[in-house]
Structure 1
Amino acid sequence: MKRVLAFDVYGTLIDTHGVVEELSRRLGDGAEEFSRRWRDKQLEYAFRRGLMGAFADFSQCTREALEFVDRATGSRLSETDKERLMATYARLPAFDDVAPALERMAEARLTRVAFSNGSRTAVEGLLRQAGILERFDDLVSVEEIKRFKPDPAVYAYLHNRLESSPHETWLVSSNPFDVIGAKHAGLRAVWVRRSAEAPFDPWGDEPDLTVSSLDELAERLS
């Protein structure tokens, strides 16, 4: 494997369901389902905006998705509740395997880049509060070209920005749509299968490598 690794942020490095605890205070047993639907709708809104050519900050997709799921579930969250949930989303935790795996990769002199649909400001803040910002060599945000993954232009921008060939650029993501998008654009890709029950989309574009954690990835790269 080559030495340029581009890590997806939301869902791969950062646990997007870290908001469940805050949701539980308001929704009780319905918190996990609300969190899942919020994440699904957030991605759907980004995809739809990408197709429409109507780019907006990823945080806007997140807020609009929160509003939709609140209406769809009849949860009747207050505006204060929604602001607190959005604030929680800005300080979500990193998965436990992230920091030690990144440290091992740094010791192996692998180039490590955070690559996200989120804005640069939002992602910097998120990684900083999680204590892992300094473990990256660079940060690439889609806002720089105002398109969303899995648009092929986003992956082309990534490897051009890194001055690496597609074949030398490895996307590392827990999101199958991201892995397939990278493969379609000619990049190499690692799927981090964080749940043993998670299926991969049956499109025929399989990841070059599948791991259950970033620890496993670091071990295989050592």
Structure 2
Amino acid sequence: MEPTIQAFVFDVYGTLFDVHSVKAACDEQFPGKGDQISQTWRTKQLEYFFIRQISGRYEDFSVVTRDALRYALAAADVTASSDVEDALIATYAELSPYEEVEDVLKQLRDTQTVVLSNGTADMLEQLIANASFTELFDELVSIDGVKQFKPSPAAYMSWFKTTDLKRDEVLFMSSNGWDIIGAKNFGFRTAWINRDGKPFETMDVRPDAVYDDLTEILEWRTS
């Protein structure tokens, strides 16, 4: 008999919230370049925290996000004042949640729900509060407490060590393949939220389930 899921643990960026909802703000500041800036910003954000993790040069996610934005602006051949840069950074506290997220979270209120993110505590609290999701989570956990970005095992342990659960009693959800690999390697059950219809990473670690959005994770609830 398979263990029942006792905790639903969510990644944030790209899983609960659309990171490319910053495009409109970028386009407002730099007409016609919003999509390019948004795409490069996210790509470099991921690259920079991986580089910092591997090289042992940790800076928190707010620093990584600002550095990535500066690269994206330079790559788009535009210059931003400090006020414009701050305005674009502020959009990370106002990302748009995906349309099914609120309903799914409300249906999980009888089960433990947790955010486990590379974002800083301040970034997560502001984002979740602005979406009016604060009451829908039991915990918001930032890896900044251990200064180890996901997919490092220490990042997943930063929350798990505070529980009395078994690893396979946790369902971890992310739209990021590298995050699913990290969580599965750690021992969590995993659901890859494949919003873009992409193939999974060509590695020897596979998710337990693949969904187009979060709606189908509800089948993991105990009756």
TM-score range, shorter chain: over 0.9
Task: Judge conservation of contact 1:159–1:169 (CA < 8 Å) in 2.
Answer: no
Aligned to 1:206: 206
1:164 equivalenced with 2:152 (yes/no) = no
Aligned to 2:38: 35
Aligned to 2:150: 149
Aligned to 2:86: 83
Aligned to 1:53: 56
| Gap runs ≥5 in structure 2 | none
C-alpha displacement of 1:163:
2.6
Root mean square deviation, CA, Å? 1.5
How many percent identity over aligned positions? 36
| Gap runs ≥5 in structure 1 | none
Task: Judge conservation of contact 1:2–1:168 (CA < 8 Å) in 2.
Answer: yes
One-letter amino acid of the counterpart of residue 208, structure 1: D
CA offset digits 1:26-70 (Å, max 9, x no partner)? 333331122111011011111111112222120100000011111
Aligned to 1:17: 20
The TM-score, its normalising length taken from structure 1, stands at 0.93
C-alpha displacement of 1:101:
0.4
Task: Judge conservation of contact 2:93–2:130 (CA < 8 Å) in 1.
Answer: no
1:173 equivalenced with 2:178 (yes/no) = no
C-alpha displacement of 1:157:
2.4
Aligned to 1:111: 112
One-letter amino acid of the counterpart of residue 196, structure 2: S
C-alpha displacement of 1:122:
1.4
One-letter amino acid of the counterpart of residue 168, structure 1: E
Partners of 2:192 and 2:70 lie apart in 1 by: 30
One-letter amino acid of the counterpart of residue 94, structure 1: P
Aligned to 1:215: 215
Aligned to 2:192: 191
Partners of 2:99 and 2:164 lie apart in 1 by: 31
Task: Judge conservation of contact 1:119–1:141 (CA < 8 Å) in 2.
Answer: yes
C-alpha displacement of 1:211:
1.0
Partners of 1:67 and 1:199 lie apart in 2 by: 30
Partners of 2:53 and 2:171 lie apart in 1 by: 23
CA offset digits 1:65-111 (Å, max 9, x no partner)? 011111122122332221110111122121111110001111xx221
Partners of 1:162 and 1:127 lie apart in 2 by: 22
Partners of 1:42 and 1:195 lie apart in 2 by: 19
Partners of 1:126 and 1:26 lie apart in 2 by: 22
Quick one: structure 1 residues 157 and 165, their matched pair in 2 at CA, closer, same or farther if it must change by over 3 Å? farther
Aligned to 2:139: 138
Higher helix share: 1
Partners of 1:184 and 1:58 lie apart in 2 by: 23
Deviates more, 1:173-182 or 1:22-31: 22-31
The TM-score, its normalising length taken from structure 2, stands at 0.93
One-letter amino acid of the counterpart of residue 44, structure 1: E
Partners of 1:159 and 1:71 lie apart in 2 by: 39
Partners of 2:175 and 2:29 lie apart in 1 by: 28
Q: Aligned residues, how many?
A: 219
CA offset digits 1:187-208 (Å, max 9, x no partner)? 2111011122x22111121100
Partners of 1:4 and 1:139 lie apart in 2 by: 13
